[in-house]
Amino acid sequence: MTDSKPAKAPDRMASLASLCKRRGFIFPSSEIYGGINACWDYGPLGVALKNNLKRLWWQSMTQWRDDIEGLDAAILMHPKVWEASGHVENFTDPLVDCKTCKGRFREDQLETSRCPNKPSKSPKACGGELMPARMFNLMFKTHMGPVEETGSVCYLRPETAQGIYVNFLNVMAPSRQKIPFGIAQIGKAFRNEISPGNFIFRSREFEQMEMQFFVKPGTDEEWFARWRAARMAWHKALGLNAAKLQFHDQTGKELAHYAKAATDIHFEFPFGWQEVEGIHNRTDFDLKRHMQFSGKDLSVFEEATKERYVPYIIETSVGADRLTLTALVNAYAEEEVKPGDVRTVLKFHPAIAPIQAAVLPLVNRDGMPELAREVVQGLKREFRVFFDDGGAIGRRYRRMDEAGTPFCLTVDGDSLKDRTVTLRERDSMAQSRVPIDALAEALRSRSAFEPPAV
C-alpha cells in the first residue's frame, strides 16, 4: 500500500496543468501562435476523458431512464430568443476604463484587478481616473447572411437551455411523453468573459450538459428535491471524493430573478469551493417569456384532470469542461511508493479513464509481443485498450499511472504456457493472474458505473 500525499494547494493547479500538457490531456488553443485567451484544446487523453463523462451523463439521462428525451439544438438561434430570455438586456458586466493606463476592468472586481502600468496596485489605488461604469454584454455577436446590418445580427448562444425551451412542444409531441418529463442536451456555449481563468474552469468557449425537467406546478418542490439529491449521488458514483462535495443553497440576493429555489453542487478545488453543477427551480418563467415573445401557446392540456397549464421547469446544469477539470483534480495524487520514490497517479473511475487497460509484453521477444497484440485484438471492440512495448515494465506502469489507466495487463513467459496474464491494479498496485478468456468480464465488472435511480 502507498502513502497518499497530495501536492500543496498553490502548486497543485500548476502541477496538474503541467501534467495535462505533458501527457496530452489539454493544451492552450492555437499554441503555435501564442495561444488565444481562455480557449483550450483537448488532446488524445483529454478528449477521451471528456467524451467518457459526456457519454455517461447522456446515458444516465436518456438511455437508462424513460422519461427524458435527447435534443441537439443549433448554436446559432433566432435573435429574438435572447430578447425573450433576457440576455440582450441583462447578460452584462459593469466595466470601467482608466483614463491614464487605458486599462479596462470589471467594476465588481477592482480590488483583485491589477493596473497594467503599476502591477503592484489595484486600479482603484494607482492614481488614474476611472470613468463611470458601462454595461458590457457577454454574448459574442456575429452577422448571418451576406450583409453586416442590424437585421442580420445573431449571437453565439451563451447557454444551451433556451434551445430546449423553444423546442419543448417539438420534442413532447413526437416522443409521446407526458408531464413530468425532461429534455437533455449537450452542446457548446460561448461567453465573452472579462475575467476567465483557473485553467479550464472558466473559459470563453465551453460545453454544457443541461437537462430541463417539465413538471406540473405544485409538484415542482418535490421534483427539485429529487433532482438535487440525484445529481449529488451521480457525482459520488463517478468517484468524486464525498468530503470535497457539498451543497450550496442559494438564498436572498444570490437567487436569479426567475428562480424559486436554486442549489449549487460545490467541489473543493485547489482555488477554493466552486460550483460544478446547478439545480434550479425556474418556475414557468422561461416558457411564459417565450409565449409572450413568440405569440405561440406553450401550455399543455392534462387529459386526466382536464387542466391546462404552463409547466414549471427544474433545471440541472453541469459544465462538461468543468466536470473534466473536477475529475482531474479529484484523481490527481503524488504518492510516495517507497522512501524517495514518488509516483504521480490519476485515480479515475475506470468508466471514465481515457485508457481502460494497457497491454504490455514483459519483454520484446519469445512471442510475448504477438500474444499481447492478440489480447489487444480481443478487447478493443469493447474497451479502450493501449499497447505499449517501450521501456522497462516499471517505467511503463508509471506512465500508465500518470495517464490514469486503471489496469495493466502484462504478458510474460508464463502467459505463453497457460494463457493467463498479470492484472495490475493502478490504485493498490496489487497484481493477480487472470486467464485471457476472462479478461473482458474482469474489465467489464471493474468498470461498471451505477448511479442510483432517482
Contact between 175 and a copy of itself per CB under 8 A: yes
Contact between 271 and a copy of itself per CB under 8 A: no
Q: Which of 94, 140, 271, 425 binds a copy of itself (CB under 8 A)?
A: 140
Minimal CA–CA distance to 140: which of 200, 209, 71, 188?
188
Q: Which stretch binds a copy of itself (CB under 8 A): 10-18, 145-153, 224-232, 276-284?
A: 145-153
Q: Which of 2, 15, 29, 250 binds a copy of itself (CB under 8 A)?
A: 29
Q: Which of 56, 73, 245, 443 binds a copy of itself (CB under 8 A)?
A: 73
Q: Which of 17, 48, 53, 279 binds a copy of itself (CB under 8 A)?
A: 48
Rg, the chain, Cα only = 25
Q: Which stretch binds a copy of itself (CB under 8 A): 70-78, 123-131, 345-353, 418-426?
A: 70-78
Q: Tell me how far, at minimum, the Cβ of 121 lies from a copy of itself, in Å.
A: 21
Phi-psi region of 261 (alpha: psi -120 to 50; beta: other; left: phi over 0): beta
Site for a copy of itself in 355-384 (CB under 8 A): 376, 380-381, 384
CB within 8 A of 187, min separation 6: which ones?
72, 73, 75, 160, 163, 207, 208
DSSP H/E element including 316: strand 312-319
Contact between 211 and a copy of itself per CB under 8 A: no
User: Helix H segments across 276-379?
Assistant: 285-294, 320-331, 368-379
- Strand bridging mode 357-361 / 385-387: parallel
Contact between 71 and a copy of itself per CB under 8 A: yes
**d(C-alpha 72, C-alpha 80), whole Å:** 19
The smaller minimum CB distance to a copy of itself, of residues 266 and 380, is found at 380
Contact between 99 and a copy of itself per CB under 8 A: no
**d(C-alpha 140, C-alpha 190), whole Å:** 7
**d(C-alpha 258, C-alpha 439), whole Å:** 52
**d(C-alpha 378, C-alpha 301), whole Å:** 53
Q: Tell me how far, at minimum, the Cβ of 419 lies from a copy of itself, in Å.
A: 22
Site for a copy of itself in 387-406 (CB under 8 A): 387-388, 390
Q: Which of 70, 86, 94, 378 binds a copy of itself (CB under 8 A)?
A: 70
- Give how far Cα 156 sits from Cα of 29, 76, 164, 399, Å: 19, 6, 16, 40
Q: Which of 143, 308, 395, 433 binds a copy of itself (CB under 8 A)?
A: 143
Judge whether 81 and 202 are in contact, CB under 8 Å.
Answer: no
The smaller minimum CB distance to a copy of itself, of residues 281 and 316, is found at 316
Size of the residue set binding a copy of itself (CB under 8 A): 83
Site for a copy of itself in 179-208 (CB under 8 A): 188, 190, 192, 194, 204-205
**d(C-alpha 404, C-alpha 329), whole Å:** 12
Q: Tell me how far, at minimum, the Cβ of 432 lies from a copy of itself, in Å.
A: 26
The smaller minimum CB distance to a copy of itself, of residues 276 and 372, is found at 372
Q: Which of 6, 41, 86, 440 binds a copy of itself (CB under 8 A)?
A: 41
Q: State phi, psi for 179 to the nearest 5 degrees.
A: -60, 135
